[in-house]
Amino acid sequence: MSENPKKKFLYINRKAPYGTIYALESLEVVLIGAAFEQEVSLAFLDDGVFQLIEGQNAADIGMKTFAKTYRALGDYEVRKLYVEKESLAERGLTAEDLMPIVYEDEDEDYAEKPSIHFVERAEMARLIGESDVVLSF
């Protein structure tokens, strides 16, 4: 693909984890997509914000707790996770309810920096409007 300029990929996550497979299989696309060296952003809004909740444990429903994969995203150069503030507030959640997700900034002596950015709805709308490819599942 090197002859093409990079495209801005936006993954929209609007569904809760475990009740359906969309969150998990969306994450699998993100991981594979990372190898293509495009500009990648993840948007979490509506029930998608539940994907990032701290303390998930799916053992007793017989499923894999795949939440830790979000923490590994930094290693895949996926460092822009946008969480909509209004979606959190409506669900009684705050930033402290989410797991910390960080990446190591190689330009600043591998300092750990937060991957999660909290944005207002209007900012989320602008993010969509600046993307080249919007993937929703």
Partner 1 sequence: MRFGIVVNEGPYTHQASDSALQFARAVLAKGHEIFRVFFYHDGVNNGTRFTIPPQDDRNLQRSWSELALTRNIDLVVCIAAAQRRGILDANEAKRQGKDGDNIAPGFRISGLGQLIEAGIQSDRLVVFGD
Partner 2 sequence: MSTLHTVNKSPYERVSMATACAHVLPGDAILMIEDGVLGARKGGAFAKRLAELDGAKIFALGPDLAARGMKATDLVEGVEIVGYDGFVDLTVAHARVCAWL
Distance CA 54, CA 66 (A): 12
> Quick one: which of 53, 80, 114, 118 contacts partner 2 (CB under 8 A)?
53
> Quick one: which of 38, 71, 102, 118 contacts partner 1 (CB under 8 A)?
38
Q: Which does 104 bind (CB under 5 to 8 A by kind): partner 1, partner 2, none?
A: none
| Nearest residue (CB) to partner 1, 35 versus 122 | 35
Segment near partner 1 (CB under 8 A); pick from 25-33, 72-80, 97-105, 108-116: 25-33
Closest-CA residue to 2 (of 36, 41, 40): 36
Segment near partner 1 (CB under 8 A); pick from 12-20, 48-56, 84-92, 108-116: 12-20
Distance CA 111, CA 102 (A): 10
Per residue, the 3-state secondary structure of 36-81, as one string, reads: HCCEEEEEECHHHHHHHECCCCCHHHCCCCCCHHHHHHHHHCCCCE
Segment near partner 1 (CB under 8 A); pick from 33-41, 77-85, 108-116, 118-126: 33-41
Distance CA 99, CA 5 (A): 33
Shortest Å, Cβ 108 to partner 1: 29
Closest-CA residue to 86 (of 121, 118, 51): 121
Q: Which does 124 bind (CB under 5 to 8 A by kind): partner 2, partner 1, none?
A: partner 2
Q: Would you count residue 72 as binding partner 2 (CB under 8 A)?
A: no
